[in-house]
Amino acid sequence: MLKYLWISVLVLAVDLASKLWISQTFQLHESLTIIPQWFNLYLAHNPGAAFSFLANESGWQRWFFALIATIICFVLVVWIKRLPAHEKWMAIALGLVLGGALANLWDRLTLGYVVDFLDFYYTTSVGREFHWPAFNVADMAISSGAVMLIIDVLFSKDKLERS
């Protein structure tokens, strides 16, 4: 099932290319409205984890999250390698998660932070904004893969028959 690693390579390439483009085009914290009251491109650097968890620490979190990501990537490769041939959905899901994890790991190791730039928000009629934390292509791949894994666990006919 290692043939599905092409998905990880694709996610890695698209993510790194998009982060390179945004980093060369925008200044830190620069924003460009794409869809008013909904979506901006916004360059942010996140030294923490999801939702900027531990972002304000002294720097130890860079290596902590890099170590965790490295272990996760290793586990995912082994998992994909051991999948039975009929588990294509699972291989795709794991490939998405692996590609996203590798892309964010690359940022952590080379930059010390993860580049985020997709900024979704909602502006009410009275001007109040509700923002989702900025994220990137790797985060989308990880989230999509995780949702696919949940769907597989909950609705896979093979798994339902075994329980």
pLDDT tens, position by position, 61-93: 668 878 989 999 999 999 999 999 999 999 999
Of 15, 107, 119, 139, catalytic: 139
Q: Within a domain: residue 41?
A: yes
Residue 5: closest CA among 81, 69, 71, 67? 81
Of 116, 119, 152, 158, catalytic: 116
Residue 73: closest CA among 43, 109, 47, 42? 109
The model's pTM: 0.87
∠108-17-115 over CA atoms, to 5°? 35
Range of the domain at 108: 2-46+62-129+137-162
Contact, 99 vs 9, CB < 8 A? yes
139 part of the active site: yes
pLDDT in tens, 9-60: 999 999 999 999 999 999 999 999 999 889 999 999 987 666 554 555 555 6
Q: Within a domain: residue 102?
A: yes
Q: Within a domain: residue 57?
A: no
Count of domains in the chain?
Answer: 1
Q: Within a domain: residue 104?
A: yes
Q: Within a domain: residue 56?
A: no
- Mean pLDDT throughout 135-150? 97
Contact, 137 vs 103, CB < 8 A? yes
15 part of the active site: no
Q: Within a domain: residue 51?
A: no
Cβ neighbour number for residue 73 with a 10 Å cutoff: 17
Q: For residue 159, what pLDDT is reported?
A: 57
Q: Within a domain: residue 117?
A: yes
Name 34's Cβ contacts closer than 8 Å, sequence gap at least 6.
40, 41
Pairwise CA distance, residues 39 & 24, whole Å:
20
Q: Within a domain: residue 93?
A: yes
pLDDT band at residue 4 using 50, 70 and 90 as cut-offs: very high
